[in-house]
Amino acid sequence: MNNGKQEIILKGLPSSGGIAIGTAYLYHREEVYVTERILTDEELEAELVLLDEAIERSRHEVQKIANFAHEKLNEEAAQIFESQLLMLDDVEMRKALDMRLRREKKNADFLVYDELQKYKELLGGASDELLRERVVDLDEIGQRIMRNLQKKRLHSTVEGEHVIIASQLTPSDTILFSKNDVLGYATDLGGITSHAAILSRSLKIPAVTALHTVTAVVQTGDEVILDGQRGLLIVNPTQDHREEYELKLRRIANFEAELKGLVDLPCETPDNHKVELSANAEFINELEYVVTQGSKGIGLYRTEHLYIEKGDFPSEQEQYVEYSEIAHMLYPQQVIFRTFDIGGDKLLDTAVPESNPFLGWRGIRMMLDKPEIFRQQLRALLRASTMKNIKIMFPMISGLTELLEVLELLNDVKEELRGEGMAFDESMEIGLMIEVPSAVFIADELAKHVQFFSIGTNDLVQYLMAVDRNNELIADLYQEFHPAVLRAIKHTIDTGHANGLWVGMCGEMAGNPLATLLLLGMGLDEYSMVPSVIPEVKTIIRSTPFTEAKAVADEALSLSNSFDVRSFLYTYMRDHFPELYASWMTGENGENDVE
């Protein structure tokens, strides 16, 4: 009951799926403030020791959180704290602080604040989301060191089960609150790719970000419903709303129990049309979970983490060891390795600053400019292919000239290996990602030179719609069900089939249950997605005749706007898969509800 209080519904960005019903806890993070003062000669040496101790204590604190992330979460989550440890170990920053302390004789906490402020100002105006997240990391590191210099303690605990309401959560806040009975997170600021959002998804804690006014509207003790899929926070919900969401929670629990029985069943429609369900992965320790969810292989293995972890491009042998281990772990299932896609949203520290990295030096463009590095990766992949379950695909291909240049380099590497007596899979399939609009329009030319296409919807939608999906001002214009997007996908599939290619999809749309029948009816051969969604997608496919899926696709393709397409698909899901629909409405995937 809302005890007579007015119900308020706030709309933000859906950052981590799930439902939370409970009371709010308004969290105000205690900021550390500094004042500038001049030290005496006697105080200087003591201040240097104090700085060493504060940095070491800060490192110990972050290491404990990193250990927890490594043990309980995935590598993407753990990497956030590994990056913070690298900042604390930064020799140049440490030298700068020591030099300034001795030269200026000012208090250490002020110098830490001043030094990090320079980095924050440099990165704060960046258009790249990853760079902006580094500002958050820098701020958290600075606050931690200053807090330890002032010998203060941070309290990120709360008694009882609550939905945490905050202006913004740091990565550490997100982890530390999770050790209590936190139900969900709702913040004024942040986006779907923020570190706090990534951690929330890893922790399976519902979260809504970019609510703007939530800390002004909500008070501690208010009853709230947080809908992490639709991006809603309902404050003082009516009895009807509460009962509606309690029913959804019961349906989700029942449905998740039923999904466990699908793992070993084939992905085949009732009228015997088969498709492949694969998983997207980035780290070796994800593979065991991938198999348990019923995946038939890896449709996208991202190789960029090898660069990110090392801070430089790995050697051929380092790559060969990892690629071989993955191929052996998955045999006889296939694994498709995407060659390095660095740049854009994957930071390359040595890159020339770019005003728009997503339209700049990234993917295959960078690799063609660094042929020796590219050759090392191709050699490693070919050498690891002796079990004949490896495929290679190239990202960001925008034209035939690029593709032919890549294939010429690949053939040179093959000849080189033959000359050295190195074994590799001579019949290995080669493919490319269709994620640049120009590739859609020349797909018939590209298809003559490869064995498969994999549609990367994340970038394809972004480029077709001219929308940065991480920009909350225009996030609603990122529409994967826009008719232009659907027609581009259909054209790519038809063109691939006409040239004897199989066509897959490895973007987020592949794991969106709302899109499953639409893509099936378009003729998609392979879906590659977040592993946790595979049972849901398999349920839809195994329950629907291919002939019916084609009718669904034909109807959706005849509609003239994204709203009508979504409305049609929502209605179909509600009528044919009521339990799945209820679960999907609160999961990590899919678009927001029709409003």
- Token match 């204590």: residue? 57
The CA distance from 15 to 253, in Å, is 21
CA distances to 40, 148, 593 from 111, in Å: 16, 14, 49
Catalytic residue among 195, 267, 305, 482: 195
- Token match 């077709």: residue? 464
Sign (positive/negative) of CA torsion 512, 517, 522, 525? positive
Catalytic residue among 60, 449, 506, 576: 506
Q: In 73-217, where does DSSP find H-type helix?
A: 75-88, 91-104, 108-124, 129-149, 171-178, 195-203, 214-217
Q: What angle do CA 574, 580, 582 make, to 5 degrees?
A: 70
- Token match 């709302």: residue? 514
- Token match 């740091």: residue? 170
The CA distance from 75 to 15, in Å, is 19
For residue 14, what are the β-bridge partners? 208
195 is an active site residue: yes
DSSP conformation class of 423: -
Total residue count of the chain as it appears in this document: 595
The CA distance from 232 to 585, in Å, is 12
The CA distance from 157 to 528, in Å, is 38
**Do 357 and 128 contact (CB within 8 A), yes or no?**
yes
Q: Tokens representing 491?
A: 């054209």
Q: Tokens representing 258?
A: 């039923």
Q: Tokens representing 500?
A: 């004897």
Sign (positive/negative) of CA torsion 141, 147, 151, 155? negative
The CA distance from 512 to 588, in Å, is 9
DSSP conformation class of 150: T
Q: Tokens representing 555?
A: 């109807």
The CA distance from 61 to 55, in Å, is 10
Compute φ and ψ for 259, nearest 5 degrees.
Answer: -65, -30
506 is an active site residue: yes
DSSP conformation class of 442: T
**Do 233 and 214 contact (CB within 8 A), yes or no?**
yes
Tell me which residues are annotated as active site.
195, 506
